[in-house]
Chain A
Amino acid sequence: MTTDNPSPETPDDGWQRLHPLSPLARVGRLVPALVLLFLVSTVHSKAENGRAETDYLVLITLASAVYGYVHWMVTRWRFEGDTLRIETGLIRKDSRRLPLARIQAVDIVRPLLARILGVSELRIRVAGSGSTDGKLAYLAESQAAELRLMLLAGHHDPEVAASANTGLPMAMVTTSRLLGSVLLSLVSIILMGTVATLAVLDQFEPRTAAAMAGFLAVYLLSFAGVVWRRLSGQYAFIAVEGPEGVRIRRGLLQTISETVPYARIQAVRQVEPLLWRPFGWCRLEVDIAGATARNQRGEGTAVVRKALLPVGSQQDSWHLLARLLGAPDPERTPAPRRAKLKAPLSFHFLSAGHDGTHAVCVTGRINRATTWVPLEKSQSIRRVQGPLQRPLGLATVHVDVAGKRARAEFRDREVAEADRLVEELSELSRVARLSSPRSPVASDGTHGVPPSGWYPDPSGRHEQRYWHDGRWTEHVGDGGRRSSEALIPTP
């Protein structure tokens, strides 16, 4: 780290400073805006006293540089037992402690300038809140990576953390496929269509075309912005298997590293947009809880939806799904034919099914969306029957998981089946909740998946049952004799 500054790392108190280039990287974010301001002001006041305005700009630059430096001076961090403490602020002191055990995710963000300077920003999220709770901007790249591993391991022992730094790539997105998928999205098609129309119109009616272009400019620019963000945000996407979750790295100008913890997955959704279907592409999204439901009394549970695979083949998607949920493939049955009257557009997609541990539902009108929900995560089961469904003898059953949007919908099933589903799903959810050996650890918000091995059989029918790869298997043991029987008997 730094050498010419007074005691950045005194061994007795362990306080550490941020990287000495932080003020530069921080203020550097303002550079484009300042350049723009400068250009505007020089063009604007060429005739008048342009001198005064440039002085003003110099002043702003200086002030922000001083601010950046002071901010760097007063910011420090250290480990205090099992917490990470970050202190900052000159006038209004801000000291926060982040308990290592409750850290949910640590993201590394590298804006363009930071990347040039060789520094990265560390963002730390803690259970019980959806936003960034701790921020270290900026650290040297190697230090950021190391610290991230330490934080994720819930430990500030580098040796333990280093062992966690292995993983197999699970999925990646090539630039050509990303480009193709973005071009085949609704936004870019509208954008290209409009531009093409304007170009054609320009041949015949240049004045109208110019007027229309002027009118549409704002919309076109914002659409182009959306397309650009998708491209740059998901550029060089790679998902790597880590011990605590899937690690994702992506980004063109700003590299983002994030982790999707296996244990916090509430639901997985595979979306197949209409235009991608000829190529067999799909998108995989996950809903991750920011807080353990039972523990955070009084606080809303923040659930974020993340793209686990921005675009990929069915095979890629299936591979990821297998790792996340153990490839649940319950048999799906379509909705009864009369559901066509109620849902003419989505009928051809509607199907749903469940096995002992997962529910899977397909919905969607234009884009097919398949949702997998581990029953162990279900928060409530609901049966809803609308006025259109009643005369048709249909009802919808929802399996709700934490969050606002995530749920599996058994849409438009026969009433008798819906009634049966409500009972069956509540019972299966209960069994799944009780039978997962990670539950006892889960209640304090710090779980990991227990290692594979023999554990007491949760169903009580046998002495032991083999737990492997985050789930119960059908292998059971009684007094040293092995046999096999599924945990949840299939009816």
Chain B
Amino acid sequence: MTMSEDQAWLRPSPGLWRMRRAEVVTSTAVLAAFFGLVFLAAAGATAGLVSVVVLLALGAGFSWFVRRRYRAWRYQERHEDLLVARGVMVQRLSVVPYGRMQFVEVTAGPIERLFHLSTVKLHTAAAASDARIPGLELGEAARLRDRLTELGESMAAGM
């Protein structure tokens, strides 16, 4: 009935991937520099080089994982509810009816602000509901916030 696909799945902005990549690159670089210098001082040039290479490899592996995680995020606005799917290892899909929404929260941390992104979070009375969409462009976040609030109000009032 109303379960038909109303709209296609939407995804967070590619800015989220850029942000995650920047985070991984920065932390890898810092760690590699730190441990490289420590091993260089403690056990010589070879050890320093090996530790840097190992850390860079770990960073590359991690960034592959982060990429997959980024690609796993998706959401869909249906007639009655919002679907949010995420996760690579543990895959989660939340179905949150608009009528159950208590409030919508839009947050943007310092790093997110640097990339002009924000996170939209839906709160319901259940702590486990867990409907969070990160990495939305500011315009899209505002649109989603307004639309969710509007839908939430009309559905809650309609009961």
Chain A residues within CB distance 8 Å of chain B: 289, 291, 293-294, 296-298, 301, 378-387, 390, 398, 400-404, 406-407, 422-423, 426-427, 429-430, 433-434, 439-440, 442-443
Contacts and interface: CB of A to CB of B under 8 A. Distances in A.
Given A379-B96, A382-B130, 17 more contacts: A289-B125, A294-B99, A297-B103, A298-B102, A380-B126, A385-B90, A386-B90, A398-B128, A400-B126, A402-B126, A403-B126, A422-B95, A423-B3, A426-B81, A427-B2, A430-B81, A439-B159
Contact of B125 (A398, A402, A442): A402
Contact of A380 (B80, B91, B94, B156): B94
A386 B89 contact: yes
Contacts of B8: none
B92 interface: yes
Contacts of A294: 99-100, 102, 125, 156
Contacts of B89: 386-387
17 contacts: A294-B125, A296-B125, A380-B95, A380-B131, A382-B92, A382-B129, A382-B130, A385-B92, A398-B128, A400-B128, A400-B129, A423-B3, A427-B3, A430-B81, A430-B97, A433-B99, A433-B159
B92 to A, nearest CB: 5
A380 B128 CA distance: 8
Contacts of A403: 125-127
B80 A407 contact: no
A432 to B, nearest CB: 11
Interface of B: 1-3, 80-81, 89-97, 99-100, 102-103, 124-131, 156-157, 159
Given A293-B124, A298-B103, A430-B97, A380 B129 contact: yes
Nearest to A440: B159
A404 B102 contact: no
B157 to A, nearest CB: 8
Interface centre among B1, B81, B93 (most CB of A within 10 A): B93
Consensus secondary structure, chain A interface: mixed
A383 B92 contact: yes
Contacts of B157: 443
Given A294-B99, A296-B102, A379 B91 contact: no
Nearest to B82: A380
A472 to B, nearest CB: 16
- 7 closest A-B pairs by beta carbon, nearest first, are A293-B125, A402-B125, A379-B126, A400-B126, A380-B129, A301-B125, A381-B95
A387 B90 contact: yes
B119 to A, nearest CB: 18
A275 B93 CA distance: 38
A429 B93 CA distance: 17
Contacts of A439: 159
Interface centre among B90, B95, B96, B97 (most CB of A within 10 A): B95
Contacts of A379: 96, 100, 124-126, 129
A409 to B, nearest CB: 10
B95 to A, nearest CB: 4
Nearest to B91: A385
Contacts of B96: 379-380
Contacts of B126: 379-380, 400-403, 406-407
B159 A430 contact: no
Nearest to A419: B93
A293 B103 CA distance: 11
B124 to A, nearest CB: 4
Nearest to B159: A439
Nearest to B93: A383
A418 to B, nearest CB: 9
A403 B128 CA distance: 8
Contacts of B91: 384-385, 390
B95 A382 contact: yes
A324 B2 CA distance: 31
A298 B102 CA distance: 7
Contacts of B128: 380, 382, 398, 400, 404, 407
B125 A429 contact: no
Contacts of A382: 92-95, 128-130
B159 A404 contact: no
A293 B102 contact: yes
Contacts of B90: 384-387
B125 to A, nearest CB: 3
Nearest to A430: B80
A288 to B, nearest CB: 12
